[in-house]
Amino acid sequence: MINICKANPIHVQGIAKVCSEGYQSTYGETHSKEYIERIISEFYNTERILDEVTKSSRYWGGYFVAVENDNVVGAGGGGMINETAGEIFVLYLDPNRRNEGIGTNLLEAITKQQKEEFNASEQWVSVHKGNEMGIPFYEARGFIFQQEQNGYGNVEGEEYVSLRYCRSI
């Protein structure tokens, strides 16, 4: 059985693993090795994740995890970006566990938090252009494409593009 709960320090290693492996398997073919390694080492290191599971505010609601037999099989989290809009900042699964509904369950937990605790009425997400796993998922959940923007974390010479999606919640 898979349980969705708010993460705590015992989940830090598992979050780092699913996010790093999920990121690698999602972007391995569209992004350079340097880009992927830079993002993984910046965001999905255990020190940062420990800090992020122990802190929670309106701007970062903490990680939620999907746990099966003490193993983290998915992780995600978000926060508010203005008075009424929430955003999904991160959502990754164990690459072997896609299409079982786990991503939907995590998205629902984050959405419930944003609506009930922070009064969100809309929700945003940024997805890399070309992410053929993330985009169909968000579209299936009612997100609508809004605009393109420069990819987060581009350094000189990189021109990755992000797509901004939004839905009412």
Ligand X SMILES: CC(C)(COP(=O)(O)OP(=O)(O)OC[C@H]1O[C@@H](n2cnc3c(N)ncnc32)[C@H](O)[C@@H]1OP(=O)(O)O)[C@@H](O)C(=O)NCCC(=O)NCCS
Q: Which residues bind ligand X (CB under 6 A)?
A: 22, 26, 91-93, 98-104, 127, 131, 133-134, 136-137, 140
**Residues 6 or more apart from 108 whose CB is under 8 A from it?**
4
Tell me how many degrees the CA angle 7-1-79 measures, rounded to the nearest 5. 30
Closest distance to ligand X from the beta carbon of 127 (Å): 5
| Closer CB to ligand X, 96 or 156, in the complex | 96
To which residue do tokens 């923007």 refer?
A: 149
Closest distance to ligand X from the beta carbon of 100 (Å): 5
| Closer CB to ligand X, 83 or 129, in the complex | 129
| Closer CB to ligand X, 7 or 102, in the complex | 102
Closest distance to ligand X from the beta carbon of 88 (Å): 6
- The answer to whether the beta carbons of residues 96 and 62 sit under 8 Å apart is no
Closest distance to ligand X from the beta carbon of 9 (Å): 23
Closest distance to ligand X from the beta carbon of 26 (Å): 4
CA dist., res. 129 & res. 132, Å (int): 8
Residue 167 C-alpha from the chain's centroid = 16
Residue nearest to ligand X (CB): 103
| Closer CB to ligand X, 141 or 156, in the complex | 141
| Closer CB to ligand X, 110 or 156, in the complex | 110
The values of phi and psi at residue 111, to 5°, are -65, -40
3-state secondary structure of 65: strand
Taking only Cα atoms into account, the Rg of the chain, rounded to an integer number of angstroms, comes to 15
